[in-house]
Amino acid sequence: MVDNLTPEARSRRMARIGGKNTLPEMVVRKMAHGMGYRFRLHRRDLPGTPDLVFPGRKKVVMVHGCYWHGHGCKIGRLPKSNVGFWQEKIERNRARDERNLLDLRKLGWKTLVVWQCETRRPEELRKSLRRFLGTPPKKPIDRDRARR
């Protein structure tokens, strides 16, 4: 396999465990879009490459897998074998998450973390997105319909 990444870029990519475009992330994107919000994805110029970026509102939403980011919920529970190894990895992820959130806030961004397990309760998730993001703009699709 040809690998054009610099060592630094590669380790950044490797560090992004769970990767982009995960199922929980897609759920959040679809929901936010359906509610009428418009956003950018994975802006690399921001700490932690936030999953959803709402530049006009200066807000970002990070979608965290419960396991890799160490959520204390049912999904996030550690496996029984090799606990030390995973624990260490997850602790590192958590520390990085904290740092990224802090850096984002220092730059004046408001942040919301959506956990994987929260994407299983769409009604509550919709409410918390609405609460965090504020009033959605009018949907362009509605204007299109009105014109016809």
Q: Which residues bind Zn ion (CB under 5 A)?
A: 66, 71, 73, 76, 115, 117
Nearer to Zn ion, 47 or 65 (CB): 65
113 in helix, strand or coil? strand
In whole angstroms, how close is the CB of 86 to Zn ion at the nearest point?
Answer: 16
In whole angstroms, how close is the CB of 22 to Zn ion at the nearest point?
Answer: 13
* Nearby residues of 83 by Cβ (< 8 Å), 6 or more positions away: none
In whole angstroms, how close is the CB of 81 to Zn ion at the nearest point?
Answer: 21
Q: Determine the straight-line distance between the first and last CA of the chain, rounded to whole angstroms.
A: 51
The residue with tokens 């490459």 is 49
Nearer to Zn ion, 37 or 129 (CB): 129
Nearer to Zn ion, 25 or 37 (CB): 25
Residue 47 has φ and ψ, to the nearest 5°, of: -55, 130
